[in-house]
Amino acid sequence: MTASTARPSADVTKLAALARGRTVVALTGAGMSTDSGIPDYRGPGSPRRNPMTYQQFMGDAAFRRHYWARNHLGWRFMDATRPNAGHRALAALERSGQVRGVITQNVDLLHTKAGSRSVIDLHGSYAQVRCMGCEHRISRMSLAERLDAANPRFAESVSAATGVEIAPDADAVIAETAHFRVVDCDRCGGILKPDIVYFGESVPRERVDAAFAMVESAELLLVLGSSLTVMSGLRFVRRAAKIGVPVAIVNRGATRGDEFATVTLHAGCSETLTAIGGQLVAGFQT
């Protein structure tokens, strides 16, 4: 029996039953994108990684140089990734009216690429760069052109880019970055930073408020691929539980939000959403 024809598990059936007749808001984390080839930080079997903090990036020019050298190779990998079956299933459910919106902790834009329209990119996007001085924003492609000019043949000098390991936030895992030249804002000379919320940095208040409003409009909060280790995501699960919105969690391992969940599935997002897609559509039809 193939995966596509296998009978849904009892847990999947239970999730579909919980969803029946309810409008859903999805909260997604890194586990949503692993099937697209983007690694996560905390999933089972993931290597130990130490993400850049806001304090390191802003306070140390060496850290910024190291980051931009790695990102200069890695961001194109993220730009080239494509949505997986889970992203496409959520987009289809939004089009049919069952999913009201998506709050994502990911910066990969894969929900948008899949066709989801009501998306809150909680932690920003890899595709934009912000000046920390004058707040001017440019595309990551525009910055790439400037970095290419400042660092000719850099990619060729690093062992073939296609063999470079990619980390979760669009970084290439490379060691030698000492000779990389960083560029600053061409308007005010300020520090350029990816328009991504780093560890140690706060999510913009208006974005948080919009996400809370989306949760409060839901009849089911569906958590997909997040360990809820950081408060950035966990606070929405707590809010849902506090106001009586049921919570369902699909993740390959245990999460900090399991105590609030009506249903928990220790499974992959793509396989689960594919399995329940038809049931969800039927369950939301009135």
Please indicate, yes or no, whether residues 284 and 219 belong to a single structural domain of this protein.
Answer: yes
- Cα distance between residue 196 and residue 169, in whole Å: 9
Residue 162 lies in a domain: yes
Does residue 172 form part of some domain?
yes
Least confident range from 3-12, 19-28, 62-71, 129-138: namely: 3-12
Residues 89 and 166 in one domain: no
For the chain, the average pLDDT equals 88
Helices (H), ranges, 161-225: 205-216
| Binding-site annotation, residues | 105-108, 131, 134, 185, 188, 225-227, 251-253, 269
The domain containing residue 71 runs over which residues?
62-80+126-196
Q: Is the pLDDT of residue 119 over 80?
A: yes
Which value, to the nearest 10 degrees, does the dihedral of the CA atoms of residues 240, 244, 246, 252 take?
40
Contact (Cβ atoms closer than 8 angstroms) between residue 27 and residue 224: yes
Smallest CA-to-CA distance from 169 within 125, 137, 122 is with 125
Q: Known catalytic residue: 123?
A: yes
Please give the model's pTM, rounded to 2 decimal places. 0.89
Q: Which range is least confidently modeled, 8-17, 218-227, 277-286?
A: 277-286
Counted domains in the chain: 2
pLDDT of 3 over the 70 cut:
no
pLDDT tens per residue across span 79-114 = 999 999 999 999 999 999 999 999 999 999 999 999
Binding residues for NAD(+): 105-108, 225-227, 251-253, 269
pLDDT at 162: 44
More confident residue, 16 or 185: 185
Q: Binding site for Zn(2+): which residues?
A: 131, 134, 185, 188
Residues 183-229: tens digit of each pLDDT: 999 999 999 999 999 999 999 999 999 999 999 999 999 999 999 99
Same domain, 73 and 12: no
Q: Which of 123, 136, 179, 266 is catalytic?
A: 123
Looking at this protein, which amino acid is placed at residue 132?
M
